Amino acid sequence: PFSYKLATRQVYEQILVPRTGVKYIPVLLLPDNRIIQDTSNIMDYIEQEFTRTSIYTKDNTLHFIGKLVECFADEWMLLPSMHYRWNFPEYNNDFLFQSFGATMLPDDPPQRQVKAGKGFARFFSGARQPLGIYDRSIPIIEGQAVKFLHLLNCHFSEHDYFLGEEPTLADFSLMGPVFSHLSQDPYPKKLLEKNYPNIIAWINRVHNAKNNVGLLFNA
């Protein structure tokens, strides 16, 4: 059981930055006022506390594959996610400014939301070069992303979820970059819809799935 709260400017200033020292979400605020930052740590905590169901498979080999996918999604998929989000401003920026601003200042008028969104966008878009996203590396990043998305699209032509018939750690890990970045931002969204229909279908399945794990994924 949980309550989903928007990461508004007030939440950032009063909770996130003072408690974690960084401006990253998601975080999990526990009933005893402890706070857990980083998706992997949050999932590990929930697995330990709620043992009746699990997003891990019982098969050791598949469990190991799920952990590899988690690492891949968290570390490597960050590069194409950031590239396709921030290097196509003519397609994405209006959407991103409004989306970020509406989250930070949900009760403010659209003009103030956009202004706030621009400031937030400058912070995150500035991470491209420190991550290694620059002119010389972009063709490599795009080439590897296209290869991966092609393989993933082929995989989902035969399987409902990454490791079988129900969503597991592998699916939830991939949903972060593939759904939140590639399928929502206008430029990569067009690429997915045009070239990778099975990935779009998988995203919808994960969002709509109530399965025997007892989990409804709602990003």
Judged on CB neighbours under 10 Å (0-12, 13-18, 19+), 185 is: buried
Q: Report the distance separating Cα 87 and Cα 1, nearest Å.
A: 38
Could you tell me the two tokens for 131?
Answer: 């991550």
Q: Report the distance separating Cα 219 and Cα 175, nearest Å.
A: 9
Amino acid symbol at 216: L
Residues in the chain: 219
pLDDT in tens, the chain (219 residues): 888 888 888 888 888 899 888 888 889 999 998 999 888 899 889 989 988 888 888 889 999 999 999 999 999 999 999 999 999 999 999 999 999 899 889 889 988 989 988 988 888 888 898 889 999 999 999 999 999 999 999 999 999 999 988 899 999 999 999 999 999 999 999 999 999 999 999 999 998 875 444 443 333
Per residue in 63-85, pLDDT tens?
999 999 999 999 999 999 999 99
Distance of CA 189 to the CA centre of its chain: 14
**This prediction's pTM:** 0.84
Specify whether the CB–CB gap between 47 and 56 falls below 8 A: yes
Range 199-217 burial, b when 16+ CB lie within 10 A, else e: bbebbebbeebebebebeb
Residue 27 DSSP code:
E
The two counts, helices (H) then strands (E), for the chain are 12, 2
